[in-house]
Amino acid sequence: MRFLLADLVEQVDAFLLRWPNARADARGLRFVGAPGAQLRLPLLAPRCGPGEPLVRYRTRLPGAAERHVVLLLQAGAMAVGYWDGEELLHHKAVRRYVVRGNGRAQPLHAKTRGRSRYGSRLRLQNWKRLLVETNERLRDYWGEYGAPERVFVAVPVRVFSDLAASDPSPPFSRDDAQVQRVPMHVHRPDFAELMRVHGWLAHGRLELPG
C-alpha cells in the first residue's frame, strides 16, 4: 500500500503498535518489523540512520520542512525545481537539439566516431550550452534560496561527468551527503516529468505479511 508523506506519522504509529522493535535496514531506506513487514519511507521524509529503531525515529517526526532540489538531465533535455517543503519556489525546463536522427546523443557519437560536420558541431555546442545553463540555474538557486538540505538527481553517470566538468561547475558534487539518486525510470525531462518524479519521491510504501 502506498501512502503520502503527509501520512507518515500515522503510518509510523500504526507500524509501531504491531512491531515496537522495528529497525531500519542497513541502507536506512525502510523499517523492518518482521519477515514480510516493511515500512518504506518516502524519500522526501526525514532520513533515518542504518539500524535506527523506529521508536527513536518517531521522536523526530514530523520534522522541519526541508528545502530540496530535483534535477532531471538527459541528452538534450533538462528539468529542475527548487522546493521549500511542499512549495515549489521555482522550476525550469529546457530542451536542446543534441540527438542525431538515429537517436544517439551527439556527445557519445563524437567519442565513438569523431565526425565534425556542421550538424555534429551544432549538436555538441547545444549540449555544452545545456550543461552551462543547468549549472547556472543551480547556482542561481543556491544564491537566491540558499543551499538545500536535499538534492535528488536523475542524471546518467556519463552525463554527470560532463556536468561536473563544465564551466561553471554545479554547486555540489556527486558524493556530497545531501545528494541522492532518484531510483526510478525517468522519461525525457520536462515540467510534467519533474512533477511526476517529485510526486513519486513523496510516497512511501507499506508491506504487510500475507
- Cα(137)–Cα(123) distance, rounded to whole angstroms? 21
- Cα(58)–Cα(135) distance, rounded to whole angstroms? 37
Q: Of 104-108, 115-119, 160-164, where does mean pLDDT reach its minimum? A: 104-108
**Rounded mean pLDDT of 189-194?**
98
Does residue 33 contact residue 16 with C-beta atoms inside 8 Å? no
End-to-end CA distance of the chain: 13
For 24-117, where are the alpha helices, taking DSSP H only? 54-58, 106-112
CATH 3.30.420.60-classified regions of the chain: 67-197
The pLDDT value recorded for residue 118 is 63
Q: Topology of domain 67-197, per CATH?
A: Nucleotidyltransferase; domain 5 (3.30.420)
Res. 103: pLDDT tops 60: no
